[in-house]
Structure 1
């Protein structure tokens, strides 16, 4: 799932988290942050498979518009609940609903891109989509962190809601011809179940798509660990709050933006699988180096490099999947991918929450880096041996 779309609202949620954990030790803060990420990831496991099946049945354009408008309304509820309820549980409920709606937005967005451009333009289109998203992310997290620090969390939620409203209106202006399934195929639980199984079987049987799914599972697992631990470390251990996190997220966004620009220009000449494996190896080295970082500058530098490498990995992975997947099942295949990678994200967030209460954060970074290096090296050796 595309989490960068929600960075501004997550910045405001972290502001609420800091209020809830004021005076609590670093080790006890990790589980609280874990809960925040848990409720934003759980919907993907529950609803993404079903969402993908219906995305292939509905108008993808209308799905995108409806999802943006629903998220705009739901996010407006968060500051109201924060003002009238104690604790975070009601807010967790709204977070759950927001990301449930996103389960329909993400596969629809990935599935509609090949309907807008020619096949030879897919990599450039995915790069451009990534670039515009990252520009919005950089502006959002920078402004979000400052707004939360200066005015509190409410204004950040209001602006994030407005951004989803504007996104929906922008999509409304896009002209696209969509081929929808025959009318008689649009009902029936049995058929929906068969289509879901078809999407999962496609990933399992298509060797190159299975490689993409496995690689993204590993990469997102490492991302889940890093996302949780870096957030807690910067906001609590370094005591830099949302401003520190904004700096970190801005470096991440700049790195991803640079990676998208360069890969979008030169990437067509490089085999997609090589980009994915090589990128994972470099991310492994960076994760080990992050373990020794004890200042915001070094963390920002390391995260920026990871963003620079991770962006081409994601573009290559999604472009390869789009190239190999027939249009009629593209929505459910991308939903299945969402389940695979986000189940990894969710599982390893819980692992990080458990380990964070027992091990130093630096040690967990070392273990994460070694895990990435082992997977990348093994994949490289197997590929070299077969060749």
Structure 2
């Protein structure tokens, strides 16, 4: 079966080298350095705190996959209704003020996390509420930061600055959600802190929120280190700030129209539609890994949930490491073929989890899931899952950027982000229901078979919407 694909662009390698070299001038910009570091640190600790919430839910509920999904929904749901409204509010405000104040507010929510855990460690609803509130605050930080980049860099530096901004978002998600949170939970041992009238019993996971709160303060200091004159925005003084309520009303009224028009833009270009769906699925899979990691460690490896890093760290390493190799692989294999290969690898990888677990119980019944070879195989499989997600995500992101009209690119990206967040809610709830009622092994097989069906849909979709002369296997030729 031949897989339709796009011809590799011959100019891709020189352009990539030019882009890499163009990073150097913008990285010498001190103000942009402060903004980039603040963005990277804040996004890392945000994702780490989200991981901490999932870990706490797993510990309190004894790995209830449904409630772990609810925890993820708590910090993804605000992006659906609040992102557009926050963008309108931020447009009329001083970006420097929005950035440092939002970091201080998130420091406050991290502090409330610690207080809530000290007051009642078994109550989940304060955790869900604080996650939801932290995410709402983050909806103001992101557009303020994106709008600040053109103010801090020159016109020639804008494109590489935006590229670094987008790269740091992906890196922060992998490091924070898949790696840092689990490492902090392991590194810091529990301890008691006498305060005269009471004694605090601090658990390892509590330190994750303490460190996150301190990091938000550091981010606020970095923003304040940027001179206020660097955020010079003449339109703030030309327009009255009282226009904001009118703008919000107009945004609410036009939101549905924008979504419909954005959807028409996406569906009018079949390759763009294909890429948007693939990127959304890849991102939902990362959330699914975080949702089932706790139950997987307990049920498959016979380890406590604090060892979730055994699952999440290899996935992060595979995801981030492969991202740097994807441009060269994409040039050799073609973007479409790389995406299809990634989907097939995901199918095989998820199905191999329960199969290898069953083999471990049959071949080595004495040790079973505790056998070293099964642990090593699991780590390698998770690493391969991370690489496979990168094989889907990076080429699809590239296709999406290439096919999105320049004048509507922001609308396309916003639509994809909203589809991902809205689509993740039923997926996580349904996956949690299957894992809770039927079993985790069955859930893994279901995900694997779903990836196979999705792969088949992708091949058929591309064949039906690609000119006949491009539907041929890609072959590498030696020059």
Alignment TM-score, normalising by the size of structure 1: 0.79
Give yes or no for contact 1:127–1:264 (8 Å, CA) kept in 2: no
Which digits, 9 at most, give the CA deviation of each residue in 1:49-95, with x for residues without a partner? Answer: 43355566666666554433322221111010121245111222111
Alpha-carbon distance change, 193 to 216 in structure 1, aligned in 2, over 3 angstroms? same
1:1-387 aligned at under 5 Å gives the runs 5-21=45-61, 29-54=64-89, 63-85=98-120, 87-106=123-142, 117=157, 119=159, 126-127=166-167, 130-131=170-171, 134=174, 140-147=180-187, 150-151=190-191, 152=203, 153-170=205-222, 183=239, 186=244, 187-193=246-252, 195-197=254-256, 199-200=258-259, 201-206=261-266, 207=269, 208-235=271-298, 238-263=301-326, 275-294=338-357, 295-311=374-390, 313-322=392-401, 333-385=412-464, 386-387=466-467
- Count of residues in correspondence between the two structures: 381
Alpha-carbon distance change, 379 to 52 in structure 1, aligned in 2, over 3 angstroms? farther
Alpha-carbon distance change, 223 to 62 in structure 1, aligned in 2, over 3 angstroms? same
Alpha-carbon distance change, 148 to 89 in structure 1, aligned in 2, over 3 angstroms? farther
Alpha-carbon distance change, 241 to 199 in structure 1, aligned in 2, over 3 angstroms? farther
Alpha-carbon distance change, 290 to 215 in structure 1, aligned in 2, over 3 angstroms? same
Shift of 1:344: 1.9
Give yes or no for contact 2:278–2:392 (8 Å, CA) kept in 1: no
Which digits, 9 at most, give the CA deviation of each residue in 1:160-184, with x for residues without a partner? Answer: 1122333344455676888979837
Give yes or no for contact 2:50–2:177 (8 Å, CA) kept in 1: no
Give yes or no for contact 2:54–2:72 (8 Å, CA) kept in 1: no
Give yes or no for contact 1:48–1:104 (8 Å, CA) kept in 2: yes
- What is the alpha-carbon distance in structure 1 between the residues aligned to residue 140 and residue 395 of structure 2? 22
Give yes or no for contact 1:47–1:100 (8 Å, CA) kept in 2: yes
Give yes or no for contact 2:179–2:312 (8 Å, CA) kept in 1: no
- Higher gyration radius (CA): 2
- What is the alpha-carbon distance in structure 1 between the residues aligned to residue 275 and residue 164 of structure 2? 19
Give yes or no for contact 1:11–1:144 (8 Å, CA) kept in 2: no
Shift of 1:258: 0.7
Give yes or no for contact 2:326–2:395 (8 Å, CA) kept in 1: no
Structure 2 residues not aligned, in runs of 5+: 1-41, 192-202, 358-373, 468-479
Structure 1 residues not aligned, in runs of 5+: none
Give yes or no for contact 2:326–2:391 (8 Å, CA) kept in 1: yes
Alpha-carbon distance change, 350 to 149 in structure 1, aligned in 2, over 3 angstroms? farther
- What is the alpha-carbon distance in structure 1 between the residues aligned to residue 57 and residue 113 of structure 2? 13
Shift of 1:332: 5.5
* Aligned counterpart, 2:362: none
